[in-house]
Each structure stands twice: as structure tokens, then as C-alpha cells.
Amino acid sequence: MVTFLAVGEKPNREGVIYTAKLLKREGLVDDYVITEKPREDKIYVVGDHSGTYGVLQVLKVRSVLSIDAHTDLMQDYFDHASWLAYALRDGIVERASVIGAVLMIPTTERTKLWTKSVKIFPALPRTRRVRGRWRRYINLKQHGLFVVDEARRFLGDEIYLTIDLDVLRPEYRIARFQHGELTLRELLEIIEEIFKRFSVVAVDIAEVSDRVARSKLGRRALIEVFSLIREVMG
């Protein structure tokens, strides 16, 4: 079964409904539910990324691995840019790792939350200040799939995987806001490596919006990422 979580603003909800029809037409889903209420499942397609918070409340997985152009660690109010910080702060998850971030990357160790319970692997070389010295993040550009090894050491075996499709380059035009740095091939390689290294309890594809209905590259990415997930998760 696949759960399509039509949450967020109208463009997100319509994007999720469009995706359900698209994947059905492609013969990639048989049984599915379109809902606004999180429920137990193994594969999800989510509109606004904050929907992942509700899924985690239901599944109670302790570690989260997020592939995302943003760290989603803002702390001002609950939304798609802060849900991960809230999930950690509210004790819904214990540890999180973010792969592929280009924005909202902490550059100092001001809060315990970021240094103790989060490990970030940016898409590009970035530095942060640790005890008065500037250190480089382990990143995708320089370290490639080694970032998955590092995430495995930090998170343990069992994870919930969330794939924010805004991690792809802007030309894919799937999400409503700023896209990141990855090509579809790079994203698929990372996902394959994650499935090799971890026991993935459940997985979601998030930040789907109605833009994808007008994006050929976006639809292709959605179909390929979903196919890979379905192949592995059954």
C-alpha cells in the first residue's frame, strides 16, 4: 500500500493528487490511499514536508535520514522549514542526518540540538565554527557516497528515510520553493547506497507540488525515484 498525504497549501495538495494519478497510470501503484491524516504504511508521497512530522508520530522510528536541499531546522514556527527541529525537540525522533543541503546549514555550535542530535552533509563544501576553529563539513561534492557511511555510523541501522525532491536541481521543477544541486542520477545513487547500508523502516517522497504537472524532467524524476523505492520496499 502507498499513502498519499495531501497536506500543505493547495499547490502541494494538488501535486500529491496529481502524483497518485500519474503513478497509477504508469502501473507503479495498485492499492493506495489519498488522505490528510498520517497512517501506518511503508511508502508515502507527501505534499508539504511538515507532513513527515505526523508520519513519524505514528511510526515512532528513532532515527531519520533526510535527503533535502534544506536542513528544515528552523525553530521559529512549525512548517516545512522547521519540522525536523520540532521532531527532535518534541522527542519524536532522537537523531537525524541531512544529506544534500545547500541552505539553512548551521555554521556555529550555538545549540546542543544541532551538535548532538544532527549531522549534516551539505551538497557543496561548507565550513562551520567548532571551538573557535573553522572546520569543513563532510560533503557530497568532495566525499561522494562516503557521506552515507558517515550517516550510518551516526544513525545506527534502522531509519526512516525522507526524500525532499527539492534536493534536485532547479530544472526539475517539482517543489514550490528553492531547489538544490543534485542530478537525478546522483540522487538515485545516494538512495541505492542508503538501501544497501540501512534497514529502512519506511520512506517518503516529499515537497511534491502541482509544478510537476508541467515539468517533464520532474515527472521522470518522480517516476524513477518512486520505482526504485517500490522495488526495494515491496
Residues that bind Mn ion (CB under 5 A): 49, 68, 72, 164
Least distance to Mn ion, CB of residue 166, Å: 6
- Cell 512549525 locates to 78
Find the DSSP H helices in 60-127: 83-89, 112-116
Least distance to Mn ion, CB of residue 26, Å: 25
Q: Rank residues 103 and 157 by Cβ distance to Mn ion and give the closer one.
A: 103
Of 27, 28, 40, which is closest to residue 5 (Cα–Cα)? 40
CA 73 to chain centre: 13
According to DSSP, the β-strands at 127-130 and 133-136 are: antiparallel
Least distance to Mn ion, CB of residue 88, Å: 14
Task: Pull the grid cell for residue 209.
Answer: 507540488
Least distance to Mn ion, CB of residue 72, Å: 5
Q: Kindly give, in sequence order, each residue whose CB lies less than 8 Å from that of residue 216, ignoring residues fewer than 6 positions away.
A: none
Q: Rank residues 68 and 193 by Cβ distance to Mn ion and give the closer one.
A: 68
Q: Rank residues 164 and 181 by Cβ distance to Mn ion and give the closer one.
A: 164
Question: Is residue 165 within 8 Å of residue 180, measured between CB atoms?
Answer: no
Q: Rank residues 79 and 142 by Cβ distance to Mn ion and give the closer one.
A: 79
